Amino acid sequence: MDREHERGVDEATDELADRRAAVAELGAELRALVETAVRSEVAPDELRHVAKEARRLTDRLGERQRAVTEVATVDDLASRVRMYNPVIGDGHPVAPPIDFIHDGDEVTGHFTLGAMHEGPPFCSHGGMSALFLDQALGHAAATVGAPGVTTDLQVRYVRPVPLGVPLRIWSKVTEVSGNRTWVKGMITTAAEPDTALVESEGRFMRLSRAQLERIFPDLVGKRVSPGSVHD
């Protein structure tokens, strides 16, 4: 690699790192804003004033946008970097976000939910649990070299998932056969990791090139491998 090319690579890497840091910073502030907004009891006039400010900021961010069929510039599908993923994305305004730790065929993560995730009073919405477990099970499948898309997901709600309490999510591969992978998982509190709040089992399918191009036509020609599409 010549020096000019090497310098260009370094600059591009630094620019990407800076943009990712900025996206994460904005994501953290948006999560704080959303959580504050859903818990706020300020006067109606103040709510309208904040809404006006929010519209102004929306206009600023909207000056330059990607299409919904474009991969974000901060993302890297092959490396599982998804900055706007609603479970793991540091840039997503309602993601916890969960940082999964991979250990063999198991995946573990820790997170805490707020009022923005509420379903029943003081508890998480059941759909949130399904969302988080779908992601966790998919990560476990990818960990054993069998990344794929979800074809089946069963969720059993054993106990309510409390808000404001440190939680633990866990998943483990139970079987791999051909292009199919079976995974189980559960959500517990961090304090009682053996007491299930929500349990789940899922099946994932590794895509062929033909399936990738049929299901995700907007990725055709973008040098995306079938194994990169699994969230």
What secondary structure letter does DSSP report for 81? B
For the entire predicted model, the pTM comes to 0.89
Q: What average pLDDT is seen over the chain?
A: 91
Tell me the percentage of the chain whose pLDDT exceeds 70: 91
What distance in Å separates the CA atoms of residue 61 and residue 107, rounded to the nearest whole number? Answer: 35
Domain 98-228: what homologous superfamily?
Hotdog Thioesterase (3.10.129.10)
Assess contact for 145 and 156: CB atoms under 8 A. no
Q: Is the pLDDT of residue 56 over 60?
A: yes
What distance in Å separates the CA atoms of residue 36 and residue 94, rounded to the nearest whole number? Answer: 12
Cα–Cα distances (Å) from 22 to 68, 120, 155, 213, in that order, read 21, 34, 36, 33
